Structure 1
Amino acid sequence: MSVEVNNESGYEVDEAEFSALARHALDALHVHPASELSIVFVDTATMTDLHVRWMDEPGPTDVMSFPMDELRPGREGDRTPPGTLGDIVLCPEVAVTQAQAAGHSTAEELLLLTTHGILHLLGYDHADPDEEREMFALQRRLLLTFLAGR
């Protein structure tokens, strides 16, 4: 699994941990090991620009996902074909505020947002209540199994 992590935010992050999380989640979702993923941490100004340009929404957001090959999760014994999942863009400055409100660390919030972004790249959404329950339950399971293993 090729996971490229770039930190352009000025906020200190453990790039190896985010790469390990991505590998854990993609393996659990039976994504082909030759697939590629990019994770980028950006500052508030950059995220604001992306949010306005791609979502037509004002201000920064916490995470955005930009799918490429529209891969979907595989099944046990039947992995996805190899491909490029796309890019996950995270804004640590927004995550700081969200982490404080949720009562956990910024690192934990960024790990949660990374998992969320990966699921979006694989076609999961939370537009309706059933989709939200499915996506958030899977997000929680992936993050907890990752955290339990470190």
Structure 2
Amino acid sequence: MSVEITNESSIPVGEIRLAAIADFMLGQLGIHPQAELSILIVDVPHMAALNERWMGEEGATDVLAFPMDELSPATRPGVAPADIADDEDEEPGIVGDIVLCPAVAISQAAAAGHTFEDELHMLTTHGILHLLGYDHMEPEEEREMFGLQGQLLKKWRAETERARG
């Protein structure tokens, strides 16, 4: 995967680790290994402007997702992500852009009782799922999206613990 991260905020976010989790999530979802994803890190005023312009909402939010190509995850029952990723007919594509606001993430992490890094990982995963067409407007959609998000984050944590030895 090609994951490009641009940090325009004054808050360090651990770009290498953020790129690693994005790459991991896209791989788990069966997205072509040469697909491209962009992550933009912005400050509160920039996020508020984007949120108002694109979502019609006032104030800054934690994550926005702007899909590009219509890519679909390989999360159908009985289909392993590797089976789809190796398909010669599938084009790599551009997944899209995720915009994160670390200032909002810091507040949310404190309120949720977990680390800033955990919050950024959750928001990155959440944004990727939105890029792939998942939503949470309806209760059933919310259960599906948040259930998958939880499973993916659990796999990421297990993989990270395994790598640390």
TM-score using structure 1 length: 0.96
Distance, in Å, in 2 between the alignment partners of 1:56 and 1:41 is 20
Q: Does residue 152 of structure 2 align to residue 146 of structure 1?
A: no
Residue aligning to 2:84: 78
Distance, in Å, in 1 between the alignment partners of 2:4 and 2:47 is 19
Residue aligning to 1:10: 10
SS in 2 for 1:65: strand
Structure 1 residue runs of 4+, over 2 Å off? Answer: 78-81
User: Partner letter of residue 147 of structure 1?
Assistant: R
8 Å CA contact retained: 1:64, 1:90: yes
Cα distance, 1:70 vs structure 2: 2.0
Residue aligning to 2:65: 65
8 Å CA contact retained: 1:40, 1:88: yes
- State, as a whole percentage, how many aligned pairs show the same letter: 55
Residue aligning to 1:124: 134
1:110-139: CA deviation from partner (whole Å, max 9, x where unpaired): 110000000000000111111111100110
Gaps of at least 5 residues in structure 2 are 161-165
SS in 2 for 1:58: coil
Gaps of at least 5 residues in structure 1 are none
The alignment of Structure 1 onto Structure 2 pairs a total of residues equal to 150
Distance, in Å, in 1 between the alignment partners of 2:136 and 2:127 is 12
Residue aligning to 1:20: 20
TM-score using structure 2 length: 0.88
